[in-house]
Structure 1
């Protein structure tokens, strides 16, 4: 998943080694390396459009991006804009909600006043993306998401802890940086109080979280409540004060942080924890899916469409899931026969999930194993890609404070200025949930050429509007990551049948998501039904299954995007191969998918159709 998800959990935010082959791709945008090390799109061989209209469009969307950063200051920090590092923002205030509506309404009207037909071909794609975003955002406003401002999976509290450790996007290099964080932390403290008022509104409107999710949130909050301020994770910047600070400066900052944590932050977190435990838990709902909320089925259909960037019905998605589960089970059974396992598929699942040879016995061994796989994959990448990211990535364990409820793995994008690499997080809490046979496919998905490639290349683009560099669509980004797993077959990374089974197991997870997510939120499934379905159709550890199902309960529709996006990319590749025959260039196809940023499915389809015509 992307914490921009990708691994951005604010509410939720990549060495070029080659350029496009100009001989083979004379009709496609060229990507070059600028002095800043970014990817630059050259439209010299494309429809360049009317220069005046192009400039008007670019000025408009860049102004939107800047205006949006003012409204979303924490997001600004993640995209490398440090002008608002002292601000937290007020995403739950009436002023924020009004400003967001006016921003989307105003810019939708302004972009519609631009003549799309006069734009360059690349900017026509951008135009479609921008208009799509504004329309979806305006529909989002009609649903009361503000009444459920946090859950166990995406939590502003967790995001602020990560920022406050000094190991994320928030800088801690100067006195001003430290003062900025004090100011931002004060804004967060105010947010914890407003969140309780919004949840009170949710209680009155019957828009509340399922009980089990509330039970997961409480220990997350309890983990942040300590007796001594110096034991708080928010104290970490004081433990790492720069050496060039004077002793007087160090003493002053230490006193300031200690006072803020002791007198304001810890009481605020305690109050929030008590609210969940005493006020909210007794009124949390007994239903597990969105159907149990007022207008919940309509809300869920919108979420399914916005996450997949399609107009598919929930029922259609459910049926695709059932079909894919059946197909993958058949492939899994072929592996069982290939390795000459004597029992049935259920027994094979049990063996792979329990026998000691399939698991590491220590956490560092797991991390080291992923580093070996990283080197192996890196050797194959130049055969399949013209463009690779400048930024590298590292493999790290999930932090201890969130490992019990975090996903099995996730990816966090690198710093825009290159000061911090991407991070491939591995949850080492339960080694039985991290089988050796699942490592290759997970690395392909989360790191290279999956999320790390796609998100890093997107961030490194120049010559495109900023919202394309830093915005994204789950269906595209997760669809690409799942496609990257499939590409591992061609890369020869699944010659070992057990590693290939791991690939099938991960694909099964994405197929089951189509069934379970829709089952939970539109067909009245219970949490227990969803857990049992996943147990019956996969070798996943029960702890992983429970975390997955509760994730779907918290963020409905998001899990649909993986398989839907992968199937669309695979179908477009098959279409291009059939249309172009010997002229089909796989590297060129990958370039087309990656060098415009993240795209809605319909926009990506239009782009590939245009590319096919030029290649003919």
Structure 2
């Protein structure tokens, strides 16, 4: 009896204790759920605020920059030009960047999901760099021979670029846009006059190269103008009256407005601007030029590396690559020294095509052999294809040896790998594999097309870009060609080294020109001494660096960082390292500043350890 009572008492205590424990556990679970729900709600709120913010920014940016809107596939502003030289534009641009940066700072970054934390960093980086850029007077240098608004408008006006010419409204939109462009040609002259007064002008040799570019479009017969091309390709479904009306309008626009505007701009360069250009070939010759150049170096490399450090990296890389080149010379049994080997590769007819079309066809054939290897290295590949085209005749004399244009966002136009066929002696057969890897697949075409095709990321992230990331990736693509087995031919491997040498020399020459007082001739001679490049190609390269300082630094700096991150991942993950997954990490969040990309890869490594 006593045992029973004792047992019952003990049971009651245990039962009560268990009930209390259950109550505590349920309370804890409920508290955790409530806390988790609160965190989730806070995260969802921050995510929505952030996504709305960057979406509104992208819309406002396109409204302010109608040409950009057309290039990203938004046709709402196809009739607008949107001059970037007016005081109203400069004020609106500042308010756009400062206003959105202020709004961004009110969002708690830690409350965002991981992928949007990287996006947050990217967006903030962009706005800060834009605001810093505003402090330098780039508006006084609205044109250079390598890239300018005239070239952009000519490409759009051919009907083979982003500007659509499918409907009558499309044709009318282009006429309206041309009106804005014609106003811009006068605004450019006004800004360059301000540059003359402030001693912020181009080197003479660059300004002289612009004159023939303009002259090419000053024609007596409107039908000979490249801007008449859309009329020559007018859709068959237009009525006869529509065709006649548009043809008359285009002839009138070209003859009475466009040609006179371009002639005025050409005369301005010849008579007013060129006599006032500067003797110094580098940015150091401009007021506050060295600080401006350091900013441009930071902007293009997305680092804070001092330009002197970049110069030293370049010298070291040049020495290393020269050693590798000499090994190739020995491997193929060439009897002379390396300089004689350069001369041999640059002059022997067997290394060059004699017909322009053969060069283009050669790249199209190379495309197939490279494409067969890509599935071994990539999970994600672009939906868009690419084609190979020669650089247009009007700009081939001053254009780079090759370039890439992204595909249409709506899939209506493939990517374009432009190859400059002007001087076939500047396009050796032994350089084709590495150039294709860089400009097309898996280089620029992969990275840019995949970025445009991304789903579930903010719009600005799909269309913004950083030279260090994009060019660094393209140079990494050349490096990857080694693993793909595409350089078994020692001459093609030499081509890879030759292109890598170009990027290493750029570190030396760009910083030499703009920070160390080098002359154009000194830069050209340095490149002649250290590579087999054709002199015409070297000259175009050096003048490009003179025109867009800092941009050429981004290739090698970006490549070195991507290789560093890959080696870090391989070392940390060992057998768990997956090359396809690594490439996914690099390519599937768009173009990133180096620091943001490094954070992302470190986070990926940690999650896989």
* Alignment TM class, shorter chain as reference: over 0.9
Question: Where in structure 1 are there 5+ consecutive unaligned residues?
Answer: 1-46
Matched, 1:80 2:73: yes
1:48 CA drift (Å): 11
What's 2:416 paired with?
423
Match of 2:90 in 1: 97
- Relative to structure 1, the CA distance from residue 332 to residue 233 in structure 2 (aligned partners, 3 Å threshold; closer, same or farther) is same
Q: How far off its partner does 1:312 sit?
A: 0.3
What does residue 24 of structure 1 align with? none
Q: Quick check: 1:234–1:261 contact (8 Å CA) kept in 2?
A: yes
CA distance in 1, matches of 2:198, 2:41: 52
- Mapped contact 1:49–1:121 kept (Cα < 8 A): no
How big is the shift at 1:517?
0.1
How far apart are the structure 2 equivalents of 1:432 and 1:337?
24
Question: What whole-Å deviation, never above 9, does each CA across 1:138-166 have from its counterpart, x for those lacking one?
Answer: 00000000001010001100110000000
Residue 386 of structure 1 pairs with residue 379 of structure 2:
yes
Q: Does 1:596 align with 2:586?
A: no
Q: Using a 3 Å threshold, how does the CA distance of structure 1 residues 336 and 49 change in structure 2: closer, same or farther?
A: farther
Whole-angstrom distance in 2 between the partners of 1:90 and 1:498: 48
Partner of 1:226: 219
Give the one of 243, 261, 267 matched to 1:268.
261
1:48·1:120 contact (CA, 8 Å) conserved in 2?
no
Offset, 1:52: 1.0
- Which one of the candidate residues 307, 314, 320 is aligned to 1:314? 307
Out of 164, 177, 180, the residue aligned to residue 171 of structure 1 is 164
2: CA distance between counterparts of 1:564 and 1:251? 54
Match of 1:483 in 2: 476
Which has the greater radius of gyration? 2
Mapping 1:182-197, distance limit 5 Å: 182-197=175-190
Cα–Cα, structure 1 residues 259 and 372, in superposed 2: closer, same or farther, change >3 Å? Answer: same
Q: Is the 8 A contact 1:48 1:121 kept in 2?
A: no
Shift of 1:431: 0.3
Q: Matches of 1:239 and 1:395 in 2, distance apart?
A: 23
Q: Residue 287 in 1 paired to residue 295 in 2?
A: no
- Show the counterpart of 2:12: none
Aligned match of 1:40: none
Which of 455, 472, 494 is residue 465 of structure 2 equivalent to?
472
Gaps of 5+ in 2: 1-39
Task: Pick the aligned partner of 1:251 from 244, 254, 266.
Answer: 244
- SS state of the match for residue 218, structure 2? coil
- The aligned runs of 1:75-224 (5 Å cut-off) are 75-224=68-217
Q: Is 1:612 aligned with 2:608?
A: no
Measured against aligned partners, the alpha-carbon deviations of 1:105-163 in whole angstroms (never above 9, x if no partner) come to 00000001000000000000000000000000000000000001010001100110000
* Secondary structure in 2 matching 1:394: strand
* Equivalent residue number for residue 406 of structure 2: 413
**Contact 1:73-1:85 within 8 A present in 2 as well:** yes
Match of residue 7 from structure 2? none
C-alpha distance in 2 between matches for 1:121 and 1:500: 40
State the Cα distance separating 1:371 from its structure 2 match: 1.0
Match of 2:390 among 382, 394, 397: 397
CA distance in 2, matches of 1:253, 1:244: 14
Alignment of 1:20-59 (within 5 A): 50-59=43-52
Asked whether the equivalents of residues 48 and 119 of structure 1 are also in contact (C-alpha less than 8 Å), the reply is no
Following TM superposition, by how much is the alpha carbon of 1:49 offset from its aligned partner in structure 2, in angstroms?
7.7
Deviations along 1:274-319, one digit per CA (max 9) or x if unpaired, are 0000100101000000000000000000000000000100000000
Q: For residues 15-61 of structure 1, give each alpha carbon's deviation from its aligned partner in whole angstroms, at most 9, with x where no partner exists.
A: xxxxxxxxxxxxxxxxxxxxxxxxxxxxxxxx998111001100000
Structure 1 equivalent of residue 35 of structure 2:
none
The count of residues paired between Structure 1 and Structure 2 equals: 570
**Relative to structure 1, is the Cα distance of residues 376 and 49 closer, same or farther in structure 2, using a 3 angstrom cutoff?**
farther
Q: Match of 1:515?
A: 508
Q: Which has the higher helix share?
A: 2
Residue 349 (structure 1) aligns with: 342
Cα distance between partner residues in 1 of 2:234 and 2:365: 34
1:450 and 2:446 correspond = no
Q: Partner of 1:235 in structure 2?
A: 228
Structure 1 Cα separation of the partners of residues 356 and 299 of structure 2: 38
* Alpha-carbon separation, structure 1, partners of 2:425 and 2:215: 26
CA distance in 2, matches of 1:395, 1:266: 31
Query: Alignment partner for residue 550 of structure 2, among 533, 537, 557?
Result: 557
In structure 2, the residue matched to 1:43 is none
Structure 1 residue 372: Cα displacement:
1.2
Please tell me whether the aligned partners of residues 380 and 491 of structure 1 are also in contact (alpha carbons under 8 angstroms). Answer: yes
- 1:103 & 1:50 partners in 2: Cα distance? 26
Q: Is 2:491 the partner of 1:524? A: no
CA-CA distance at 1:203 after TM superposition: 0.3
- The structure showing larger relative contact order (alpha-carbon pairs under 8 Å, at least 6 residues apart) is 1
The runs of at least 4 aligned residues of structure 1 exceeding 2 Å deviation read none
Q: Contact conserved, 1:228 with 1:262, CA < 8 A, in 2?
A: yes
Deviation per residue, 1:526-546 (Å, 9 max, x gap): 000000000000000000000
**C-alpha deviations, 1:463-500, integer Å up to 9, x for none?**
00001100000000000000000000000000000000
The CA distance in 1 between the partners of 2:331 and 2:211, in whole Å, is: 47
SS of match in other structure, 1:50: helix
